[in-house]
Structure 1
Amino acid sequence: MSTGGVQELSIIKVIWFIAAGVLIFFLIFLFVKRQIMRFTFKPSYTAIGHNAPKKLQMEIQRRLERVSYIKGEPKLLTGKIEEIARTTENHYYYRMKAVDAFSQFDEVLKSENVNTRGRHPSQTVRNYLLTLYPQYLQTAPADLIHHFADAYEHARHGPKVFGKQQYNKYMEMLEELILNLKVGLQENKQCEDSVQFNAISLLDTEVTFNPYSKSSKTKTSIPYNHMVSSERMQTGFRNQSKYRTRASSTEQEGLLESNQSSQRSSIAELDASMEGSGDQKLLTLGDEEKS
């Protein structure tokens, strides 16, 4: 009985082993067949703008690459949040209020300089203010910029308490920065106006007369490239700019017409003087022959 039982157990194990092998083979077969069918019916990859003009493909690629730079900073403090924040004690009300208040700086800059886009969300406030420092914030102390940037980072990311006292100090620095920004914008505008008034082109005309030839020759040179340089010295900053301007076509035409009329009058006077001298020579020759 013992030997018969062992043989039956061994046969059962072999049967289970064969069944497991068949099942595994069947599963592998199904998996391979499914993958083959997926790759067979899978459509080929076609890029966006395939068979389009090259200019259109470049524009599509440029816009796709620009997607990663599209970011926005919505207003944090809404009316509903402000009502809730005033009723209960919290630590985020003045933080959100301080972050939203920085938009006043960009609004002042955009009101005077329409071409500017303001601070990009990926750009830090410190880097943004330092880029504006040479052009618009010359009168602002460098320490003010760094202290304000530290206060902004504290309000937005700092773990320490940012309450009413810190908010009032932050707003004082922001108002001082806006005041210096307005002064810098006004100085740049005055500098541009003075350059526009002083940048006047010169017109030089040179007339050459050849008494031995039948016709006179004139040469007119118009040096319209007139260089106007303006230097401006301030504390810790020097900005030297050069502007190249030229007069309008109407002014040049008027000057050319006036010079041409003066040339004609001078030519007529020269011809008259030459004819008079010729007549005098003929008279003297006639008198000599008579004598």
Structure 2
Amino acid sequence: MAAEMSLVSVVLFIATGALVFFLLFLFAKRQIMRFALRSARKPHINIGADAPRELREEIQRRLTIVQSVRFEPTLLSEQVLEASKSVPNHYLHRMKALDAFTNAVDCLRSKDTTIGLRGTKQTMQLYLFTLCPSAANSSQAQIIDMFCSSYNHARHHPANFGNAELTNYMELLDKVIRMIKDNKKRRAAALYPAVETEVRLRRDCGKRESAETVRHTGKSNNLRLQARRNQPAASRPEHVEQFNMVDKSSGYSSTDHSSSGRGSVERLISPQHSFKPERDEAV
């Protein structure tokens, strides 16, 4: 009788242990799945999981190109300009600055095919150095650095961006436009590298000559730009007055020496968005 009870207790103990192990396994698996789904940056069910194959491919294609979508709308409109006359708008100078750069790039791209759009993950400084290859490691790099600082101030910095900052911004933009125009040949050489053709004559054992053509494609020389990007900020030359080599009071571009008083930047902006310096009111 005691042997039978001991056998039953052993069987019950084994069954209870197996049941407890099975329950713990299910609980642990459920917790692991919960944490995995919570940390994953995707829905629990894939988008278009039950859709046809063509529709799934179209959905994935559109989701892939989202990161490359770039859109910068025009900030100044007729309604904003009319409202700024009656109600003080502290963002008016910022909108003028950003629209001036956008309009300038659009006008330059309509006349020059070597000027491309700025990438979604491309900084303003790298974009301008790409348009002005000769500015890397030169005195003109100071102008680009100062313009990028003023552009970031107008777009992101919470400090006041008033009439004086806008005037300085427009002067720097005028200089940058001249630099972009002067670097047209360098951009064209980078887009269409020179191809050197070399013909090699070989003579076989049977005294037969065979010609072999080898083409060497020149690569764009970006060493100066890469060197400037890798150069620490402490070793860069300090601000000097070399950026004043272009007269601030000049109202014409490097390619247009007309007697008009309007600068090249003002000609790139539409009349309704033209910049008119205002006197700062005393507080």
Bigger proportion of residues as helix: 1
Greater relative contact order: 1 or 2 (C-alpha under 8 angstroms, separation 6 or more)? 2
- Name which one, 1 or 2, has greater alpha-carbon Rg: 1
